[in-house]
Amino acid sequence: MSEKPINGSSNGHVERMFNDISHKYDMLNNLLSLGIDRSWRRKLIGRLERKQAIHLLDVATGTGDLAIAAALSTQATITATDIAEKMMEVGRLKADKLNLNGRIRFQRADAESLPFPDNTFDALMVGFGIRNFHHFGQGLLELHRVLKPGGQLLILEFSMPANPLLSKCFKLYFGKILPKVGRFISKHPDAYNYLPESVKEFPYGHQFVKCLQRAGFETAHFTTLSSGIAMLYEAYAGVQEESIRVVAPNGSAVKSQEVSRIHSPHDTLQAEK
If asked whether residues 41 and 62 sit together in one domain, one would say yes
Is 212 inside any structural domain? yes
pLDDT mean over 112-129: 96
* 192 and 155 inside one domain: yes
218 and 188 together in one domain: yes
pLDDT at 148 over 90: yes
Q: Is residue 1 part of a domain?
A: no
**Is 6 among the domain residues?**
no
- The CATH number of residue 153's host domain is 3.40.50.150
Cα end-to-end span (Å), the chain: 34
> Going along 159-261, which residue ranges are E strands?
217-225, 230-237
CA distance 81 to 62: 8
Largest Cα–Cα distance in the chain?
73
* 263 pLDDT higher than 60: no
Are 225 and 177 in the same domain?
yes
One domain, residues 141 and 253: no
- Per-residue confidence (pLDDT) for residue 9, from 0 to 100: 52
Question: In the structure, what pLDDT confidence band is assigned to residue 10 with cuts at 50, 70 and 90?
Answer: low
Is the residue at 209 inside a domain? yes
Which residues partner with 121 through β-bridges?
147
Pairwise pLDDT comparison (273 vs 138), residue with the higher score: 138
Q: Give the chain's mean pLDDT.
A: 82
Does some domain include residue 2? no
Same domain, 133 and 260: no
pLDDT band at 197 (very low <50, low <70, confident <90, very high): confident
Structural domain harbouring 151 = 11-237
What is the rounded CA–CA span in Å between residue 36 and residue 249? Answer: 62
- Tell me the C-alpha distance between 139 and 41, whole Å: 21
| pLDDT of residue 271 exceeding 90 | no
- Quick check: 100 pLDDT over 80? yes
pLDDT at 6: 44
Higher per-residue pLDDT: 116 or 263: 116
Grouping H, G, I as helix, E, B as strand and the rest as coil, residue 102 is coil
- Identify the pLDDT of residue 82: 96
Same-domain status, 75 and 148: yes
* 143 and 39 both lie in a single domain: yes
Mark whether 247 and 139 lie in a shared domain: no
Does residue 223 share a domain with residue 141? yes
What is residue 253's predicted lDDT score, i.e. its pLDDT?
37
Residue 271 burial (CB < 10 Å; 0-12/13-18/19+)? exposed
Assigned domain for 132 exists: yes
- Mean pLDDT throughout 95-115? 95
Q: Looking at the 3D structure of the chain, how many domains does it have? A: 2
Which range, of 19-33, 63-77, 138-152, 203-217, averages the lowest pLDDT? Answer: 19-33
Report the 10 Å Cβ neighbour count for 185.
15
Residue 154 lies in a domain: yes
Mean pLDDT of 220-248: 77
β-pair partners for 105: 79
Position 258 scores a pLDDT of 29
Helix, strand, coil: what percent of the chain each, to 5? 45, 20, 35
Kindly tell me if the per-residue pLDDT of 85 is higher than 70: yes
Residue 4 lies in a domain: no
> What's residue 194's pLDDT?
74
Q: What is the pLDDT of residues 33-65, one digit of tens each?
A: 778 999 999 999 999 988 777 999 999 999 999
Residues 273 and 169 in one domain: no
The answer to whether residues 144 and 94 belong to one domain is yes
Q: How far apart are CA 189 and CA 75, in angstroms?
A: 41
Q: Which residues of 127-158 are buried (b: 16+ CB within 10 A; e: fewer)?
A: bbbbbbbbbbbbbbbbbbbbbbbebbbbbbbb
How confident is the model at residue 173, as a pLDDT?
87
